[in-house]
Amino acid sequence: MSRTVITFGTFDVFHVGHLRVIERAAALGDRLVVGVSADALNMRKKGREPVFSQAERLAIVAALKPVDEVFTEESLELKRDYIRQYDADVLVMGDDWQGRFDEFRDVCEVVYLTRTPAISTTALIEKISAGS
Ligand code: C2G
């Protein structure tokens, strides 16, 4: 039986922490589907425009070897529908979301992976803006 893994994220200013979570998610199954946050969703979540547009972020994630399919995540409230639509057996998120998606344990496994330390989109933006 083939196992489908689903994960979600903005993946803005794509960095090695993003790559590691995608690689580890893919290793938990046979097929990896990634929901990439829409620009409007990112605005609602983080209160700022992403550096890269959703079309650019989708193209970057879709080109990664471990990724089989991508789609646009329009709303955080649609997770259950996305899990059903893509027939996911496992939902994977980084542990900054620890416990937040436990309600989906009735339809799939829910796994939180340790975040890669010392790297984040926000820190990168600050570093680049500071020119250091
Ligand atoms: N991540 C990580 N290590 C880092 C930074 C990020 O493992 N140093 C992981 C996050 O835990 C997440 C994924 O990379 O699982 C994507 O991170 P973000 O782009 O920050 O995603 P976020 O905006 O939290 O969106 O429906 C859920 C949301 O869309 C998640």
For the Cβ of 50 lying below 6 angstroms from any atom of ligand 1, the answer is no
Which residues, at least 6 apart from 46, have a Cβ–Cβ distance to it below 8 Å? 10
For the Cβ of 21 lying below 6 angstroms from any atom of ligand 1, the answer is yes
Give residue 105's domain range.
4-130
Rounded distance from Cα 93 to ligand 1 centre (Å): 7
Say what the pLDDT of residue 46 is: 85
Q: Rounded mean pLDDT of the chain?
A: 96
Grouping H, G, I as helix, E, B as strand and the rest as coil, residue 104 is: helix
CATH of the domain at 98: 3.40.50.620
CB distance 21 to 113 below 8 Å: yes
Say what the pLDDT of residue 78 is: 97
Q: Give tens-digit pLDDT for 5-54.
A: 999 999 999 999 999 999 999 999 999 999 999 999 999 988 889 999 99
What number does the ligand 1 atom closest to the CA of 76 have?
A: 26
Kind of pairing, strands 90-94 and 31-37?
A: unpaired
Grouping H, G, I as helix, E, B as strand and the rest as coil, residue 123 is: helix
Of all protein residues, whose CA lies closest to atom 10 belonging to ligand 1? 94
| Residues, the chain | 132
For the Cβ of 17 lying below 6 angstroms from any atom of ligand 1, the answer is yes
Of all protein residues, whose CA lies closest to atom 24 belonging to ligand 1? 9
Number of folded domains in the chain? Answer: 1
**Mean pLDDT, rounded, for 68-84:** 97
Provide, rounded to the nearest whole percent, the portion of the chain with pLDDT above 90: 89
